[in-house]
């Protein structure tokens, strides 16, 4: 019976191969199912039959597809191989943007280049040899620290210090600071026995006293406990005024009368300060002069050891030549002492005047020293003006006969003195 079944299956397969149009028809499939019904499943021979049927069906399907493609003229696209990605053509790269170089040579001629003629120069700014070290060098010194301000003490602390630890002063200086007389005049008053300290007559100007603690009498009058503060003035001295206090109307001190009246009203109970000039200017000389009541300051500025120079501007008649400058620079005798200027310079005249001018710088500034130097050269002086003392120049906005009030630190800094 198995052989009959096998023959039937072979017949069906042959029929399918003979008529491809009906190979996939329902009758063919039903016949195939009917045929397979009779095949036993567990048998080993059935597996061979099934494989034989599958092979015959594949053969029939391939023959039918070839006949159908030829009958309907259908073309199929070629299959793509798997595992190979499509290779796209790369787009052309854009051309580089070239910047032309215009270079100037040593002769000043310009040339056109598509590239830099010396590309090594472009790398020099970025080389490590040209880069500055931004880090702090070990050898660099630390900036100096700002000076710490002195602590401020209360009024009670200052009063306690003044009462117990205030340094004593010489009696002659105390009288001069109180405005009794000049330093020499105060010493003469002490020598005459007109001064008493704590009830005893004192004839020694070097006696150390404390104005706040000691009781001082002058001709029976009590010396005030409060001393006037130190005052400093810069005055533009006019012609015709003297530097001494002999004639009040023509003294330079009379130019400060208005200021002193206001000062006395503001400082009630404080004695009026005794003012005097630092150095002197003759009657015919104008310019800068300093007025103060500080004797130590005046002595330090006027003394030659301070090294402060004085500058004068002299207007002369006639024409100044090189011989005149040479004679002035050689110096002359003043009061038996050879005086030589620091410098002599011929400067241009003022716009409104036709007189020649000389700038002369001297060290000591003895009595009429500048006038002797100019007259020794055969020149006649028309006017003489002092414009500088040390590093302190006469302010341009300070009118003739006017004064300027200065502090102790300010005037010492301008003069170049140590405070």
pLDDT in tens, 369-410: 899 999 999 999 999 999 999 889 999 999 999 999 999 888
Tell me the β-bridge partners of 356.
316
Local structure of residue 251 (DSSP, 8 states): B
Active site residue: 282, 294, 296, 397, which one? 282
Q: Is the pLDDT of residue 35 over 50?
A: no
CA dihedral 128, 129, 131, 137 (to 10 degrees): 100
Token pair 């798997």: residue:
82
Provide the pLDDT for residue 414.
86
Q: Measured in whole angstroms, how far is the alpha carbon of residue 260 from the centre of its chain?
A: 43
Provide the pLDDT for residue 70.
46
Provide the pLDDT for residue 60.
47
Q: Is the pLDDT of residue 79 over 60?
A: no
Query: Are residues 168 and 206 in contact, defined by beta-carbon separation less than 8 angstroms?
Result: no
Mean pLDDT across 145-164: 73
Token pair 């491809």: residue:
20
Phi, psi (rounded to 5 degrees) for 145: -75, 145
Count of residues in the chain: 419
Local structure of residue 228 (DSSP, 8 states): P
Q: How far apart are CA 155 and CA 159, in angstroms?
A: 6
Provide the pLDDT for residue 238.
93
Tens digit of each residue's pLDDT (9 = 90 or more) over 394-404: 999 999 999 99
Tokens of residue 61, six digits: 């399907």
Provide the pLDDT for residue 25.
45
Provide the pLDDT for residue 132.
54
Phi, psi (rounded to 5 degrees) for 382: -95, -40
The CA-CA-CA angle for residues 253, 258, 300, to 5°, reads 35
Residue among 372, 233, 363, 244 nearest 303 (CA): 363
Provide the pLDDT for residue 361.
93
Mean pLDDT across 356-360: 93
**Residue 387 exposure: Cα atoms within 13 Å on the Cβ side:** 13
Query: Are residues 356 and 346 in contact, defined by beta-carbon separation less than 8 angstroms?
Result: yes
Q: Is the pLDDT of residue 149 over 70?
A: no
Asked which of 18-32, 65-79, 84-98, 170-184 is least confident by mean pLDDT, the reply is 18-32
Asked which of 148-157, 247-256, 350-359, 403-412 is least confident by mean pLDDT, the reply is 148-157
Contacts with 344 (C-beta within 8 Å, 6 or more apart), sequence order:
325, 328, 329, 358, 359, 360, 361
Mean pLDDT across 191-205: 92
Domains and CATH numbers, the chain: 2-65 (no CATH), 163-222 (3.10.290.10), 232-415 (3.30.2350.10)
The CA-CA-CA angle for residues 18, 22, 26, to 5°, reads 140
Q: How far apart are CA 127 and CA 120, in angstroms?
A: 10
- Orientation angle between helical segments 295-302 and 408-415, nearest 10 degrees: 10
Query: First and final CA of the chain: distance in angstroms?
Result: 145
Query: Are residues 284 and 370 in contact, defined by beta-carbon separation less than 8 angstroms?
Result: no
Query: Are residues 275 and 228 in contact, defined by beta-carbon separation less than 8 angstroms?
Result: no
Identify which has the larger pLDDT, 109 or 39: 109
Q: How far apart are CA 237 and CA 389, in angstroms?
A: 14
Contacts with 233 (C-beta within 8 Å, 6 or more apart), sequence order:
256, 275, 290, 291, 292, 403, 404, 405, 406
Identify which has the larger pLDDT, 38 or 286: 286
CA distances from 300 to 310, 408, 410 (A): 15, 13, 16
R_g of the chain computed on alpha carbons: 61
Tell me the β-bridge partners of 12.
none
Tens digit of each residue's pLDDT (9 = 90 or more) over 257-294: 899 899 888 888 788 888 989 988 989 999 999 999 88
Give the whole-number percent of the chain exceeding pLDDT 70: 65
Contacts with 23 (C-beta within 8 Å, 6 or more apart), sequence order:
16, 17, 60, 61, 64
Give the whole-number percent of the chain exceeding pLDDT 90: 25
Mean pLDDT across 50-72: 48
Provide the pLDDT for residue 224.
83
Tokens of residue 360, six digits: 């002369």
Q: Is the pLDDT of residue 349 over 50?
A: yes
Tens digit of each residue's pLDDT (9 = 90 or more) over 213-258: 889 999 888 888 888 889 999 999 999 898 877 655 588 998 998 9
Residue among 382, 385, 373 nearest 329 (CA): 373
Average pLDDT, the chain: 76
Contacts with 86 (C-beta within 8 Å, 6 or more apart), sequence order:
none
Residue 258 bears catalytic tag: no
Tens digit of each residue's pLDDT (9 = 90 or more) over 122-132: 665 555 555 55
What predicted TM-score, i.e. pTM, was given to this entire model? 0.57
Q: How far apart are CA 359 and CA 367, in angstroms?
A: 18
Residue among 419, 417, 418 nearest 308 (CA): 417
């Amino acid at each position: 019976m198995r052989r009959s079944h096998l023959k039937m299956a072979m017949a069906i397969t042959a029929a399918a191969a003979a008529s491809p149009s009906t190979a996939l028809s329902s009758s063919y499939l039903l016949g195939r199912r009917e045929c397979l019904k009779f095949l036993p499943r567990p048998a080993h021979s059935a597996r061979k039959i099934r494989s034989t049927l599958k092979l015959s069906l594949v053969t029939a399907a391939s023959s039918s597809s070839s006949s159908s493609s030829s009958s309907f003229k259908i073309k199929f696209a070629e299959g793509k191989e798997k595992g190979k990605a499509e290779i796209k053509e790369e787009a052309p790269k854009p051309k580089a943007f070239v910047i032309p170089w215009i270079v100037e040579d040593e002769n000043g001629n310009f040339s056109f280049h598509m590239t830099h003629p010396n590309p090594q120069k472009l790398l020099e700014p970025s080389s490590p040899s040209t880069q500055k070290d931004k880090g702090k060098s070990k050898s660099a010194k630390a900036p100096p620290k700002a000076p710490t301000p002195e602590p401020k003490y209360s009024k009670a602390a200052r009063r306690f210090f003044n009462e117990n630890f205030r340094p004593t002063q010489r009696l002659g200086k105390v009288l001069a600071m109180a405005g009794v007389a000049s330093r020499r005049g105060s010493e003469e008053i002490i020598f005459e026995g007109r001064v008493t300290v704590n009830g005893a007559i004192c004839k020694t100007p070097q006696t150390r006293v404390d104005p706040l603690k000691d009781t001082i009498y002058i001709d029976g009058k009590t010396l005030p406990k409060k001393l006037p503060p130190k005052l400093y003035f810069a005055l533009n001295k006019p012609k015709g005024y003297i530097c001494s206090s002999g004639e009040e109307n023509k003294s330079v001190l009379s130019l400060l009368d208005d200021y002193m009246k206001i000062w006395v009203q503001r400082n009630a109970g404080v004695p009026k300060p005794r003012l005097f000039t630092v150095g002197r200017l003759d009657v015919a000389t104008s310019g800068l002069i300093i007025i103060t009541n500080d004797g130590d300051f005046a002595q330090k500025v006027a003394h030659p050891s301070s090294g402060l120079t004085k500058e004068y501007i002299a207007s002369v008649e006639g024409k100044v030549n090189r011989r005149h400058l040479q004679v002035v620079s050689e110096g002359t005798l003043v009061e038996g002492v050879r005086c030589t200027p620091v410098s002599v310079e011929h400067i241009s005249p003022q716009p409104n005047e036709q007189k020649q001018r000389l700038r002369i710088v001297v060290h000591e500034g003895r009595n009429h020293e500048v006038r002797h130097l100019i007259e020794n050269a055969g020149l006649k002086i028309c006017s003489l003006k002092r414009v500088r003392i040390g590093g302190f120049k006469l302010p341009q906005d300070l009118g003739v006969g006017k004064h300027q009030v200065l502090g102790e630190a300010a005037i010492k800094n301008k003069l170049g003195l140590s405070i």
